[in-house]
């Protein structure tokens, strides 16, 4: 009996001759069916995302990993600090604008 897995790989299960071995194989069948359903669903979700199966997902992973590895950690740290500084400046500006709005309201404008 052959089960088709991952689109290109065929896994062969040799059916044993003894009743005990045949029973063990029959007990595995629902588990294999569940795995096959998962793989089919995975392929469908990957295809819907524009990724060519598991192989395509692995290729994409390796490309993204290589791209991320090229980013210097010091640059990320510096940018985090810049963003934090910018955030504080914007919060200060928001407080000042709120003060101006309250002042205008008090002056009746």
pLDDT digits (tens, 9 = 90+) for 1-58: 444 554 455 444 454 456 777 777 788 889 999 999 998 898 899 999 999 888 899 9
Q: State the burial class of residue 103 (Cβ atoms within 10 Å of its Cβ: 0-12, 13-18, 19+).
A: exposed
Q: What is the pLDDT of residues 73-95, one digit of tens each?
A: 999 999 999 999 999 999 999 99
DSSP letters for 27-78: HHHHHHHHHHHHHHHHHHHHHHTT--HHHHHHHHHHHHHHHHHTS-HHHHHH
Residue 62 confidence class, pLDDT cut points 50, 70, 90: very high
Stronger pLDDT, 105 or 2, i.e. the higher one = 105
pLDDT value at residue 1 = 45
């Amino acid at each position: 009996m052959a089960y088709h897995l991952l689109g290109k790989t065929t896994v062969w299960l040799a059916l044993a001759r003894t009743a005990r071995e045949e029973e063990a194989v029959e007990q595995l069948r629902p588990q294999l069916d569940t795995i096959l359903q998962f793989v089919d669903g995975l392929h469908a979700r990957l295809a819907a995302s524009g990724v060519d199966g598991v192989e395509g997902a692995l290729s994409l992973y390796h490309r993204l990993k290589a791209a991320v590895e090229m980013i210097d950690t010091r640059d990320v740290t510096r940018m985090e600090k810049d963003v934090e500084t910018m955030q504080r400046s914007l919060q200060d500006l928001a407080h000042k604008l709120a003060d101006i709005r309250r002042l205008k309201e008090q002056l009746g404008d």
